[in-house]
Amino acid sequence: MSLHLVIGINNQSNYSKVVDRIIQEFDLQSKHLYLYDKKHLDRFMDEEAIHDDTTFLQRYGQSLQSMSSGQQKIRFINYLLDQKPHSLILDNPLSHLDPENQKELIHLLEIRQNEVNMIFILNRSDWIPEYCSAFYNAFDTQFKSVSSRENFQKLYEIEEQSFNLTPILEHHTDTVEEVLVYMKNITICYGDKKVLNDVHWTIKSGEFWELRGPNGSGKTTLLTMITGENPKAYGQDIHLFGFKKGSGESVWDIKKHIGYFTPSMTGFFKGYFTVKEMIIGGIKDSVGLYIKPSKLEEQLVSYWIDILGMRDKKDTYFVDLSIGEQCLVMTARAMVKNPKLLILDEPTAGLDQQSNELFMKLVNTIAKQHHTAIIYVSHKREVKLTADFVMELIPKSDGSTYQLL
């Protein structure tokens, strides 16, 4: 009978050390062991392209690299199981998956649970496989046995915390309601593949939107219509911040009105920038300090640091923060220039449960206490998000349509 374990980590955990500890703790050095995580998936796809490997092409009719992100994960894990390992370590297997792909992967793991020992590394307690029999806390890399599923879930309980934006609001003038984004009959094709089909969307100042849709539904394509980064926006009926798209505006005429954050951005900042420097850089969308900030700008940055509760970390290097702390700083960086529109593109991807809930509270507070419009992008329904409006993309064979909720 196979043995299935859960190892709990958080954003302070050193992932590579936790994996090494698992191998030592459960004597897996000499066993036939496989590891699933994003790094190994990317490495396999690189090898597939370099060596023209047709394993997935022959089995599914397409290469692994050409699949949607959800199908890449499911089919790669299935491939690892087919290698008949003694043990398989799975790093947060449900993360970044929409509900349908989550169901498919859960079913795959359930039906193959008797073939291999599965060790789940999880940073949340919202999904714990029913067939797991032992639980461990590795928050500080050292393994501590947790007596029950209920006690494991308690590891992720969060203390109440509130945010107060009053200090920064004193420096912002109220804006009249205005149309920031207007899109009509948006239809986008890449070659023969239609991605979006006749999409309409209007966003006004101060509105809080959730952009929802499964993996591959065209959320990113729709966002790039707004950020000005997609040349296919030309010729479409789009108005952005008073400009008709293609009327001579530059990308920077658009971007100066937008605050933007997606988790992949944190990897761009590998230099030695402090928390304070990172937030100041958001005023001019710069990396580093090339223009001396005004006293008012310095004051706004100071307020944001206080709002985040990071006064004692203002001189800490950004790269030394936890993932959750980096997300909070990047949101303040996006907000410090008082943008008309804040875009948060799947911002909680990779966050542990505590950091996720803290981030949700910050976003909900910005929406409630500030006049900035917000687009929060997700592939699943975020239960604790208090968005006023939902734009949901619905994939179809002739391109995604939409519904407003």
* Tens digit of each residue's pLDDT, the chain (405 residues): 578 999 999 887 888 899 999 999 999 988 899 999 988 999 999 998 899 899 998 999 889 988 888 899 999 999 999 999 999 999 999 988 888 899 999 999 999 999 999 999 999 998 999 999 999 999 877 889 999 999 999 998 877 677 877 777 665 555 556 899 999 999 999 888 899 999 999 999 999 999 999 888 999 999 999 988 888 888 889 999 988 887 878 878 888 899 999 888 887 787 788 999 999 988 877 765 556 778 888 888 998 998 888 899 999 999 888 888 888 899 999 988 889 999 999 888 878 888 888 888 889 999 998 889 999 998 777 878 999 999 999 999 999 999 998
Domain count of the fold of the chain: 2
CA 289/CA 280 separation, integer angstroms = 8
CA 138/CA 24 separation, integer angstroms = 14
Q: What is the CATH number of the domain that holds 399?
A: 3.40.50.300
In a domain, 160, yes or no: no
Considering only CA atoms, which of 233, 222, 261, 252 is closest in space to residue 372?
A: 261
- Residues 8 and 75 occupy one common structural domain: yes
- Residues 145 and 172 occupy one common structural domain: no
pLDDT at position 173: 53
Q: What is the pTM of this model?
A: 0.83
**Residue where a domain stops, chosen among 154, 189, 219:** 154
Q: Which residue has 């509130």 as its token pair? A: 162
- Residues 206 and 312 occupy one common structural domain: yes
- Residues 58 and 110 occupy one common structural domain: yes
In a domain, 244, yes or no: yes
- Residues 130 and 221 occupy one common structural domain: no
Residue-wise pLDDT for 151-173, tens only, equals: 999 998 877 677 877 777 665 55
Show the domain range for 321.
Answer: 166-404
In a domain, 298, yes or no: yes
Name 33's bridge partners: 87
pLDDT at position 288: 59
Considering only CA atoms, which of 178, 215, 158 is closest in space to residue 362?
A: 158
- Residues 134 and 175 occupy one common structural domain: no
**Residue where a domain stops, chosen among 154, 181, 202:** 154
**Residue where a domain stops, chosen among 154, 186, 218:** 154
CA 317/CA 217 separation, integer angstroms = 37
Q: Which residue has 């449960």 as its token pair? A: 353
- Residues 133 and 172 occupy one common structural domain: no
- Residues 331 and 379 occupy one common structural domain: yes
- Residues 43 and 125 occupy one common structural domain: yes
pLDDT at position 369: 87
> In 10 A of CB 38, how many CB atoms?
15
pLDDT at position 291: 66
pLDDT at position 264: 82
3 state SS of 239: strand
**Strand segments (E) across 232-372:** 237-240, 243-244, 258-261, 341-345
Name 7's bridge partners: 121, 136
In a domain, 343, yes or no: yes
- Residues 189 and 335 occupy one common structural domain: yes
Residue 3 structure tokens: 């043995």
CA 148/CA 404 separation, integer angstroms = 42
- Residues 314 and 360 occupy one common structural domain: yes
- Residues 184 and 147 occupy one common structural domain: no
